[in-house]
Amino acid sequence: MENYVHMHECHGHKISIIINRTHAILHSIAILFLIHYRLSFFFQHPPNITIPTLPWLLIFVSELLLYLAWLLAQSHRWRPVYRTVFPERLPGDDKLPAIDIFICTADPNKEPSVEVMNTVISAMALDYPPEKLHVYVSDDAGSDATLRCMKEAWNFARYWVPFCRKYGLVTACPDVYFSSSEDGFKGSSEFKAERKKMEEKYEILKQRIRRIVQEYHRDVTVNNKLDHSSIIEVINEYHKEKDEVKIPILVYVSREKRPSRRHNFKAGALNVLLRVSAMISNSPYILVLDCDMHCNDPTSARQAMCYYCDPQTSQSIAFVQFPQTFRNISEDDIYDSQLRFVFKIQWHGFDGAGGPTISGTNFYIKREALLGSFSKQQDLMALKRSFGPSNDFIKTLVEDYKPCFIEDGESSRMLLEHANVLASCSYEDQTTWGTKVGFLYFCVLEDYFTGFTLHRKGWKSVYLYPKRPQFLGTATTNFNEASIQWTRWVSGLTSVAISRFCPLICGPLKMSLVHLMCYLEVACMPLLYCLSIWGFALIPQLCLFNGIPLYPKISDSNFNIFSIIFISAISKSLYEVVTTGDQFRVWTNEWRIWMVRCVTCYTYGSLDAILNKLGIKEASFLPTNKATDDEQVKLYEMGIFDFRAATMFLAPLVTVILVNFAAFVGAVFKALVVDDNGDRYWEKMFGQMFLSFYILVSNYAIIEGMIIRKGKASIPLSATLWSVVFSVFILLIGSVILC
């Protein structure tokens, strides 16, 4: 190892580690005092008990659940790490391994075709040997429009890719490039002339794509996206000019879908791409992208290869995860669309514990980690039982197998037919696809479950967060779509938490305790938070409404326990926002949207998973709508909530606000008007009054949408009226039960 050259470095942030661990210890001590205070209530003599037992027990359970969620969350604060790579130390291009790029699209109505084609083009323009890149687009809708758009995109890429390479552009996506001020050769008239021509070609491309989409929408005979045969087409097999600059091949894949068959959502589409790509290119590494997540910087492949080409890590690293970053995030980001905490805090800690889980997109993964490695002496029948009956596919599993799909530029018709068989509905019958090999099917979040399984088997992963975003996507910027997206994520996570695959039950084979806690926190977080926050949002308020104290008097020394815990939690979250380079208003927005999600998305997602577990409801997958509405975008950029959402999301929010408002106003009225000894009432009920007041102030945007604002984006009167009914019911029934 004398000539060994480090291609990457990993270092921990010592100051953050010290602060995190010190805070965890001190906060835990305060919580232990709180638990002692709550438990001592149950050991009082009956004559001294003046508070009903049930509300005290319920708020204690809520506090314990919140403490458990907090305790699990300390796992990703225990040892956050940060990584640096050195792509300049990679071997020559001829020694770099090949890469297959998988791009998944599901609905041309919700995923704008111009945006999808920008992702395709940017992937083809990666700074990597073009003969070693192969781009596959999975179209689950089986849309002829997507296929036609891909052909137009490939024609444009024939000019765009050489242009990027000639001038060393650092922005691979044409839409972003032409809307920015990047022009590296400012003094070059040749560059300016070529740039202008390229921009004209791009405008023509957009016009053609939009025309194709319009024709698709007008065509009443378009394919049924739930009922169509498989289609596989190599786009560039018909373009063979001798003097043409090499560009990556582009393959369209639409798997067979039938209404009577399960299709296993995105995981099913990825597994079809795994099989089809094995017949065409069989690259040892795969980049997975969502259709709206374009390659912003062309160097991501070389950065990932710093781990796969390093002899010390190449055998153990399953995948390299990059963060999800978005180009349409406003300064306020009222819906926390950038997922700041996940990608700037949580995943760094996850990495320090043993590696992050798969995040759905923006990751390079080793094919061997998904399929395994086999020798020529492997039992053929055993392989067929696991991978299906195709002899041609079984051949691709053998180490060092090189496909002969493309020879002298001519596609093999026979292998294309075999590839179509691999994309059929019935191919996975009686196999272990989705259960033991490939991307796993257990829940709609195939990424979390697949990553967890790989780590249990002993694979490692790394989280790479370069200064320049490698990938840029389009975030959901309206309340309804963001809520639907989070509900889907929560449903998948809760499905794991309440199943036999729960990290606590499944147990670590080759995982550390801290790493296990990271996975457990992600899986159990929605259920723990929704149960605890509903308790904090209603139980103290119902007791306040009826004059029952649940917290110590201000003069009681035990009141300091609750004050310290509250200030500690607030201060730590604010510290994490500031240290990641964000402002105070980001912290207030995140705090509000966290409470909003707890009583909406976390609740509905957890309920959906439970009903699915009981067999009452089948799992469903709704693609996030990426089509933008100018009015909604304007509201988002102004920091104004757009409440044009389903009543199921609005009613819980308004109900909580009304209950807290009724309890707070009632308490103030009692203290000022009714109670002769108002000072004592304030002292006795201050904790609950402060909690209600804090909830109301933090969620002022909801009050504004109910009362102050008018127009389409305000909360509809029907949702408010339903919430009034629910609030009255809760106040009446809750008062009877708790008191």
Binding-site positions for UDP-alpha-D-glucose: 110-111, 140
Q: How far is CA 192 from CA 125, 196, 349, in A?
A: 20, 6, 45
336 is catalytic: no
Identify the CA nearest to 204 among candidates 178, 236, 242, 167: 178
- CA–CA separation, 716 vs 724, rounded Å? 13
Output the six-digit token pair for 371. 């399929």
DSSP assignments along 464-508, one per residue = ---SS-SEEE----SHHHHHHHHHHHHHHHHHHHTSTT-HHHH--
- CA–CA separation, 252 vs 104, rounded Å? 11
Other Cβ atoms within 10 Å of 563 Cβ, number = 15
- CA–CA separation, 423 vs 415, rounded Å? 12
- CA–CA separation, 101 vs 103, rounded Å? 7
- CA–CA separation, 183 vs 26, rounded Å? 53
Other Cβ atoms within 10 Å of 640 Cβ, number = 17
Q: Are 692 and 731 in contact (CB under 8 A)?
A: no
Q: Could you say which of 100, 107, 139, 140 is catalytic?
A: 140
Q: Are 298 and 176 in contact (CB under 8 A)?
A: no
Q: Could you say which of 333, 336, 447, 582 is catalytic?
A: 447
Q: Is 703 left (phi over 0), alpha (psi -120 to 50) or beta?
A: alpha
Other Cβ atoms within 10 Å of 329 Cβ, number = 18
Q: Are 551 and 562 in contact (CB under 8 A)?
A: yes
Q: Is 472 left (phi over 0), alpha (psi -120 to 50) or beta?
A: beta
DSSP state of 360: S
582's CB contacts (< 8 A; 6+ apart) are 340
SS3 624: coil
DSSP assignments along 674-729, one per residue = I-TTHHHHHHHHHHHHHHHHHHHHHTHHHHIIIII--STTSPPHHHHHHHHHHHHH
- CA–CA separation, 108 vs 140, rounded Å? 10
Other Cβ atoms within 10 Å of 382 Cβ, number = 10
Q: How far is CA 107 from the centre of its chain?
A: 19
183 is catalytic: no
Q: How far is CA 380 from the centre of its chain?
A: 38
Identify the CA nearest to 252 among candidates 267, 272, 223, 226: 272
Residue 723 burial by Cβ neighbours in a 10 Å radius (0-12, 13-18, 19+) = buried
**Which amino acid type is present at position 697?**
V
Other Cβ atoms within 10 Å of 161 Cβ, number = 21
Which residues are part of the catalytic machinery?
Answer: 140, 447
